[in-house]
Structure 1
Amino acid sequence: MINDLWYKNAVVYCLSVETFMDANGDGVGDFQGLQRRLDYLSGLGVNAIWLMPFQASPGLDDGYDVSDYYNIDPRYGTLGDFVEFTHSAKQRGIRVLIDLVVNHTSDQHPWFKQACADKSSRYRDWYVWSEKKPENADEGMVFPGVQKTTWTRDEKSGEYYFHRFFKFQPDLNTGNPYVQAEILKIMGFWIQLGVSGFRMDAVPFVIAEKGADVKASKPQFDLLRRFREFLQWRKGDSIILAEANVVPKENLQYFGDDGDRMQMMFNFHVNQALFYALASADTRPLAKAMNETRERPQTGQWGIFLRNHDELDLGRLTEKQRQAVFSAFGPDKDMQLYDRGIRRRLAPMLGGDPRRLKLAYSLMYSLPGTPVLRYGDEIGMGDDLALEERNCARTPMQWSTEPHGGFTKAEKPVLPVINEGPYGFEHVNVAAQRRDPESMLNWTERMIRMRKEAPEIGWGTFSVLDCGDTGVLAMRYDWRNNAVVIIHNLHDKPVEITFDPGVGDSGHVLIDIADGGDSTADEKGRHNMVLEPFGYRWYRAGGLDYLLKRSDI
């Protein structure tokens, strides 16, 4: 077993260059601004930065409509600025992952323009065409309620082109060997400029069979192996973090039985069950989801997250569970999106309650996998529901009480900074929280340090312990003769629990490594404790000499 897989015990920080820091005063974040904030991210303790799309784009879908894969949107700077940024990140021990959006291009991409202008163009077969509008053209939309069809007529050629997303995002024909070769070239280009891997967008669509005659699309899983082989050859420790919201029985096909496809996948199954647990104080579906996603190759890893740049997708919950989450966290229609999810940030979803926020993030850091933190969540940023669709949770970072939260000196930022209410930048910002030892920011720094010092979570195996209360999640991780026990009370009231850590004599004393006190077992080896409402405990079994007891394999 390779013992230095960096992503197994990392903390990933997701951000958008556009809304993080504006250095040149034009109202739009840029790479120079991001570079100036690297010391902040280093101090936070993150191992890797995941950048949302920044390549050249008309910007109709927040950069997920790429018009040039080999260049940067000029609003964010130049390729030279990007290389300076990746170099500076490397100096601080921070890796850079970037979004790879290759299911589709922008309709303004030169490939698509040529494909439309000339049916004999070499780029014609790089897209998916049909002479007639297919019968299933009104099915399978990614954005129901906003998107009307998946096939649109091109006026120039008179034929219909396929687009799983919006009509300005024509799908690439990823079954075409020339398209596949181009995708590898794109990956190689950015690897050469200093990135350590990619978050691959919409992976199930990338590998799907496409065409008007395709009735039951079969995934081209071999394509994932090709991506992996190429990356491993160009840069041995680079990774792909796959966005694949699939049912648990399909997970291994994305990882590969032998771990020869994707290194990481987001665990959407656990994410949805986690929000149901937070809404209902019932941890049983969460424990079930963790068990259903337990199996993965030794080199595979889950990405564990709470909120990301999209809506909170609840599509895999039962109708009753989904309504419970909607009722708790997004009861109003303007908080919901695409008939399946909630578009809010976490802090307002949890009513701004610091106890609930810390409980939720403690869960994120302690569930099986690698935590992925969203920019601004370390200070409890809010959302602006007046903004359209997903933009409500994509507002600029709030750095200080300076105008526009210290994000820009321009009169008008690219998106309005939240400036009213309890989540306005005058109340929620980095500078103020730095000075408060009990702030969310300083708590997050401590949690990240503690998470990195508990590699059992990233590398080990987990067991759910019986504590006699379905509203309390008690877990034990085992790895190399070491064990940690982590407990979360999802109730809004104090509870008393009793449990056996299940590690024999070494479980007699549980050493608190977070904020509370140690626990000593009774003569039967059972621990009894009272947990405050939304309380949590992180324990190390045995003693603080655990490193002396750790085995090499």
Structure 2
Amino acid sequence: MQSLWYKNAIVYSLDVETFMDSNGDGIGDFAGLTQQLDYLSGLGITCLWLHPFYPSPKRDDGYDVMDYYNVDPCLGTLGDFVEFMHEAKERGIRVLIDLVINHTSIHHPWFQAARSNQHSTYRDYYVWSDDPPPTDPAELVFPDVEDSIWEYDEQAGAYYLHHFYKEQPDLNISNPAVRDEIRKIVHFWLQLGVSGFRVDAVPYFVKNVDVLAKQYELESFLEDLRQYVCSRNAEAILLAEANVESESFPLYFGDGDRMHMLFSFFANQKKFLALARQNVAPLIDGLNQLPNIPQSGQWLNFVRHHDELTLDQLSDAERNEIFQAFAPEEHMQIYGRGIRRRLPPMVNGDRRYIELIYSLLFTLPGIPLIRYGEEIGMGDDLSLPDRDSVRTPMQWTDAPNGGFSTAPSGRLSKPVIAEGEYGYQHVNVAAQQRDSESLLNWFDRAIRIRKQCPEFGWGRWVIIDIDEPSVFAHSCQWNGKMVVAVHNLSNQPCTVTLKFSCDRPLVDLFGDCQYEPWQGASALALEAYGYRWLRAA
């Protein structure tokens, strides 16, 4: 169904600034991204999610927006963006962009007008207080940097609300004029061809509303936004960044009249707890807590993305288990709640373990998100501050700067990984394209087969009972067809029996070994970190 294209998409996320530099100035740009669209198309990507590319002072990696209607000059022009959109469409690749409407930069003209005149139309675009309440530490997004969500502004003579950095004042979503501005922004980019928006920091709309004397219901805002987006483009979607407890998920999906998709933060955290324990119980618990969602809804699964691997939905004890397994040193952790590493260093480069985790990504109910560089096993640079450790430039070749840029290394906007086992000399696209056994070619095959298994995205999923605590198995059925995925989370081989009914042979589609079609309740042998994708023939 064309209008539900996202139900079986393969999503790839990237930051234009760190993907490909076309003019040698040390900064990735839209012209460079356009040059690499054939690579993404060849990999099987059907949808790109672009991180903020708007003009910004870059206090928060572009999430502090100064102008919602333009491209940051260092990344190109609106003309370059339009050309990129044309070329992406030619290759059948849709584009999602970030809609950052919880806050702006303090340099945005709205805030400059608001702080300079309390009678300005823009004053009520933000949330002000003469005597704000004390800040609960749990409200701090960046507890290592900020100690309050209120900042006194000398020019305004009042405190303004900011849940994120103090350079990012929160917008007043309850103001109808602000909602009108948001609609204009949405319409502008839909006119330029985007297929939807990743809506940043959605839960903080609620928190902003809570401090206002005149409240505006979040549900109404999300429904209005969905209705407006669909009225301008019936196929456009809204993807919510909402890292919340499972009980809150229905708030964001509604009855199919709010967000189209949610990131699977909750299930991802449970998955890493299961991996740390080599026991599938936490993953099963997490999946069982997911509510039934509308037919038009979908989960976006991921392993890592551009922020920390957040673990804040877990208990302190559970979080510490994951830290001990994957980030035992303090400098590998961030904000007391997350991990600032890419996956390969977290698992000591164990190819079997890497394949297992990405096999889970491709087969868990929902659709997969691949972060740029994951397909070649890029590492991290823990010498960089905060989240920048996982935001290094893409590694294309073994040429200087990993082929990302011809600029001197000192001029790069962010340093490329140049040393150690994850340096660009050892980990790059060109080398892996020539190696039939490379991780890149594994991803290529996995994506190709995943696209042939729409049951994972569309189907009704059921967890299969197995008497081995390290093995997770589930089936997905859709349109009379069924696929089964089996994963061994343990570093020890095992043999299991799938306890479910199937009157057809199961054929191995993609796994760590091959064997004859399997019939009935026969034993299934799995290697350490072994996996199977099976189709009922």
TM-score by length of 1: 0.94
Deviation at 1:72?
Answer: 0.8
The answer to whether the 8 A contact 2:229-2:236 is kept is yes
| Helix, strand or coil at the partner of 2:105 | coil
| C-alpha distance in 2 between matches for 1:11 and 1:261 | 22
1:77 maps to 2:76: yes
| C-alpha distance in 2 between matches for 1:117 and 1:208 | 26
1:478 maps to 2:482: no
The one-letter amino acid of 1:306's match is V
| C-alpha distance in 1 between matches for 2:423 and 2:134 | 49
1:396 maps to 2:393: yes
1:537 maps to which residue?
A: 532
Check 1:178–1:214 CA distance in 2 against 1; reply closer, same or farther (3 A cut).
closer
2:231 maps to which residue?
A: 233
Check 1:295–1:137 CA distance in 2 against 1; reply closer, same or farther (3 A cut).
closer
1:315 maps to 2:317: no
Check 1:138–1:377 CA distance in 2 against 1; reply closer, same or farther (3 A cut).
closer
The answer to whether the 8 A contact 1:454-1:484 is kept is yes
Check 1:189–1:173 CA distance in 2 against 1; reply closer, same or farther (3 A cut).
same
Deviation digits for residues 307-338 of structure 1, max 9, x if unmatched?
01011111111222211100011111100000
The one-letter amino acid of 1:36's match is Q
1:281 maps to 2:273: no
Deviation at 1:94?
Answer: 0.0
1:64 maps to 2:60: no
Check 1:450–1:126 CA distance in 2 against 1; reply closer, same or farther (3 A cut).
same
Deviation digits for residues 409-464 of structure 1, max 9, x if unmatched?
00021111001100000000000000001101011011011111101110011111
The answer to whether the 8 A contact 1:521-1:528 is kept is no
The answer to whether the 8 A contact 2:465-2:500 is kept is no
| C-alpha distance in 2 between matches for 1:157 and 1:370 | 46
1:375 maps to which residue?
A: 372
1:243 maps to 2:241: yes
| C-alpha distance in 1 between matches for 2:237 and 2:495 | 43
Deviation at 1:521?
Answer: 5.4
The answer to whether the 8 A contact 1:255-1:297 is kept is yes
1:193 maps to which residue?
A: 192
1:546 maps to which residue?
A: none
Deviation at 1:246?
Answer: 1.2
The one-letter amino acid of 2:461's match is F
Deviation at 1:60?
Answer: 0.9
The answer to whether the 8 A contact 1:207-1:221 is kept is no
Listed as ranges, the matches of 1:5-404 within 5 Å are 5-136=4-135, 140-210=139-209, 212=211, 220-256=218-254, 258-404=255-401
> Which ranges in structure 1 are unaligned for 5 or more consecutive residues?
544-553
The one-letter amino acid of 1:365's match is F
RMSD: 1.5
Listed as ranges, the matches of 1:386-425 within 5 Å are 386-411=383-408, 412-425=411-424
Deviation digits for residues 161-193 of structure 1, max 9, x if unmatched?
010101000000011000001001101101111
Deviation digits for residues 11-67 of structure 1, max 9, x if unmatched?
100000000000011000000000000000000001100000100101111000000
The answer to whether the 8 A contact 1:485-1:501 is kept is no
| Helix, strand or coil at the partner of 1:514 | strand
The answer to whether the 8 A contact 1:382-1:393 is kept is yes
Check 1:394–1:59 CA distance in 2 against 1; reply closer, same or farther (3 A cut).
same
The one-letter amino acid of 2:471's match is V
Deviation at 1:212?
Answer: 4.8
**Greater CA deviation, 2-11 or 15-24?**
2-11
Check 1:367–1:139 CA distance in 2 against 1; reply closer, same or farther (3 A cut).
closer
Deviation at 1:250?
Answer: 1.3
Pick aligned residue for 1:510 from 506, 510, 515:
506
User: How many equivalent residue pairs?
Assistant: 534
| C-alpha distance in 1 between matches for 2:440 and 2:460 | 30
Deviation at 1:480?
Answer: 1.0
| C-alpha distance in 2 between matches for 1:4 and 1:468 | 41
The answer to whether the 8 A contact 1:209-1:218 is kept is no
| Helix, strand or coil at the partner of 1:70 | coil
The answer to whether the 8 A contact 1:476-1:485 is kept is yes
Deviation digits for residues 124-167 of structure 1, max 9, x if unmatched?
00000011233337661111121111111111121110101010
Check 1:410–1:334 CA distance in 2 against 1; reply closer, same or farther (3 A cut).
same
Deviation at 1:260?
Answer: 0.6
| C-alpha distance in 1 between matches for 2:49 and 2:138 | 32
| C-alpha distance in 1 between matches for 2:43 and 2:129 | 51
The one-letter amino acid of 1:221's match is E
| C-alpha distance in 1 between matches for 2:5 and 2:212 | 43
Listed as ranges, the matches of 1:446-525 within 5 Å are 446-503=445-502, 505-506=503-504, 509-515=505-511, 516-518=513-515, 525=520
The answer to whether the 8 A contact 1:359-1:536 is kept is yes
Deviation digits for residues 210-250 of structure 1, max 9, x if unmatched?
365679x8851110111111111111100011000111121
Deviation at 1:520?
Answer: 5.2
| Helix, strand or coil at the partner of 1:474 | strand
The answer to whether the 8 A contact 2:3-2:234 is kept is no
Deviation digits for residues 457-512 of structure 1, max 9, x if unmatched?
10011111112111000111111111111100111011011123423x12xx1101
TM-score by length of 2: 0.97
Deviation digits for residues 257-293 of structure 1, max 9, x if unmatched?
x201000000111000111111111111101111211
The answer to whether the 8 A contact 1:500-1:527 is kept is no
The answer to whether the 8 A contact 1:150-1:164 is kept is yes
The answer to whether the 8 A contact 1:174-1:207 is kept is no
**Greater CA deviation, 432-441 or 242-251?**
242-251
| Helix, strand or coil at the partner of 1:153 | strand
| C-alpha distance in 1 between matches for 2:414 and 2:185 | 30
The answer to whether the 8 A contact 2:507-2:518 is kept is no
